[in-house]
Amino acid sequence: MGVTPLGASDEQFMSRAFELAQQAEQQGEIPVGAVVVQNGQVVGEGFNSSITNQDPTAHAEVIALRAAARAVSNYRLVDSTLYVTIEPCMMCAGAMLHARVERLVYGASEPKAGAANSHRLLDFDWQNHRISILGGVLETECSALMTNFFKRKREQSAAGGLS
C-alpha cells in the first residue's frame, strides 16, 4: 500500500463527494458521499442510503462502485480513484479490493471502524491488489459534517424526537 500525494483535482472531486454527503444528510442518512473517477471523469457516484433502502450494504462507496461498474461495463475499475468523505469501513474496503480500485482518497478518518489507515485492513501482504491511500482531503469540512449530524441526532433523541 502506498501513500500518494495530493493531486490537482483531488479537492475538486472531494468537493463533489461532500455535496453528495450533504444530500444524504438531507434525506436523514448518515452524511457520506463517494465519487469514482477514471481518466479524469466521474464514472460513478453515490451517497449513503442504507436507511432509505433498508439495505445494510447501501454505503456511499458501494453505490458509487456499482454505478461506475455499470458506466464502464466492467466490474473491474482499473485505473480508478474512489473519493469518499469518511474513511471506508471494512465492507467498502473489500469492495474496493474486488473492483481493483487503484487509489483511495478520503476526507475524515474514522478511528472506530475505518479500514484504510485507522485499522490498516488494506495493508496485508497476502492481498493480490494494492490501493494507494491519501487521507485528510477536505478533512475539516468532512469531519464537521459528521460531527454535527450525530450531535443533532443525540439532541433530537434527548428531546424525545425522532432517532
- Give the active site residue among 25, 61, 87, 110: 61
* Alpha carbon distance 12, 28 (integer Å): 25
Give φ, ψ of 156 to 5 degrees: -65, -40
Q: How far apart, in Å, are the Cα atoms of 128 and each of 1, 90, 114?
A: 11, 16, 21
Contact (CB, 8 A) for 150 and 115: no
d(CA 35, CA 132): 16
Q: How many CB atoms lie within 10 A of CB 19?
A: 14
Give the single-character DSSP code of 14.
H
User: Does the annotation mark 11 as catalytic?
Assistant: no
Residues 143, 32: Cα–Cα separation, whole Å: 10
Concatenated DSSP letters of 83-107: EEEE---HHHHHHHHHHT--EEEEE
Question: Nine-digit cell at 66?
Answer: 456499482
Catalytic residues: 61
